[in-house]
Each structure stands twice: as C-alpha cells, then as structure tokens.
Amino acid sequence: MPEKGMIKATDLFERVVHWMLAGSCILLFITGLGMMFRELNFIGSFMGGLVGLKYVHNFTGIIFIVSLILATRMWWREAGRFEFPDDLEWIKQAGGYLWHVDHVAEAGKYNAGQKMFFLTVVGCGALMGVTGLIMWFPMGLPMGLVRWMYPLHAFGFVVLFAFFFVHLYLGTIGSPGSLPAMLNGWVTRAWAKTQHPKWLKEMEAAGKLEVYGEENKEAVSH
C-alpha cells in the first residue's frame, strides 16, 4: 500500500502494458537464445523440444507486437519526442548518472534517457516484429531478401538485449524509488521532484496531480 502523500505516476493500464511488453521480451530473449546457440538448445527441453521452443517464440512474438503497438500509442506523445533545450542539456549532463551534477536539467514525465530507450525499443521492436513475421511467413518473397531477415533480427536482439539491462539497472538500484512506479503506480514526492520536476510542476499547476490520501483538485473543481 502506498503511504499518504505519495504521487500517482502511472495507471493500471500503463503498468499492464509495461509488464506485458517486458515479459514477452524476456521470454523472446530466452527462447531466441535457445534456438540460436547449440549450447543453449537444452532450453527447448522445457517446452517439448526445439519445435515447441520455436512455437513458444513465435506466438510470444505476437504478444510482443501487440504490446509494442499499445505502448507506442500510449507513450509516444510524452516519450517519443524530444523537447529542446531541456533534453539536450540533460544529455550533455548524462542526467547526473555518470558524474556529479549540481543542477540536472529539469525533465518532464520522461527524461531524455528514457526517451532514447523508448525510441530504441520502438525502432528495434518494430524491426524484430517485421523480420520475425517474414521469417515465419516468407509469403513468396525472394529467398535472398528473406535471408537478410536473420541478421537484421539478430541485430535488433543485440541492441534490445543490451538496453534491457541498462533499463533494469536504472529502474531499480540505479535510481532508487523508480520501481514502485511500475509496481503499484505510486512514487514519493521527493523522487518526483528530483527525477521529473518539470512534470511535477505542470501537474500541480493544472490541478491534475493525484496524491494518495488527498482529494484530486481537478475532480473537486468539477
């Protein structure tokens, strides 16, 4: 349960889509590695062999594509576009993660690092979705073109695999207080003021900030 005074950062639908995307991505990583490397073929033994492994991978890919579409539609407006000069300043400072910065450039609901991660997931996710579908259903395309789908699919995997661990670190021990936003939706005011001060000010000014234990100002005004 959140404590009184905590701020609502995400709603239930956002969290469901996030975990659907993350869960399908992890399962695709595991099953993909199981098919890619002979040393990891044993993963298929938990899924009825390599044929079963391939079925799990392919149908999990459908879930991934659906969740990617939902995530893109839901977060594009806030996370798919950079705002200058704030985002550029944040990038120059690396958000204060790599060296000490006295005053980190103010970020909205998503900082420049999160936006880069989001755009990478959208781009590489779309690449993997398209190449995966063509590998699954060649649809009479030239064999030379179909062969190119395999290295492109592998490229998307390598990029997403690397970014996944960066995201995992920054969403947990790298930025304490971030994880609850995707567990129960609530964050502390101190965390929001440090990580997303611009968003906090905008929400307060608009009367849309939902604070646990307090009535919503916008709802009261109506």
The residue type found at 14 is E
Q: State the residue for tokens 């790599």.
A: 98
State the pLDDT confidence band at 222, using cuts at 50, 70 and 90.
very low
* pLDDT of 95 above 60: yes
3-state class of 137 per DSSP?
coil
Kindly indicate whether the domain formed by 8-221 is annotated with CATH number 3.90.550.10. Answer: no
Show the tokens assigned to 220: 């009261």
The percent of residues above 90 in pLDDT, for the chain, comes to 63
Does the reported pTM lie above 0.95? no
* pLDDT of 4 above 90: no
What does R_g of the chain's alpha carbons equal in angstroms? 20
The percent of residues above 70 in pLDDT, for the chain, comes to 96
| Residue 121 CB coordination number (10 Å) | 23
Contact 174, 97 (CB under 8 A): yes
Q: Please give the Cα distance from 215 to 218 (Å, whole number).
A: 9
Quick: pLDDT tens for 102-122: 788 888 889 999 999 999 999
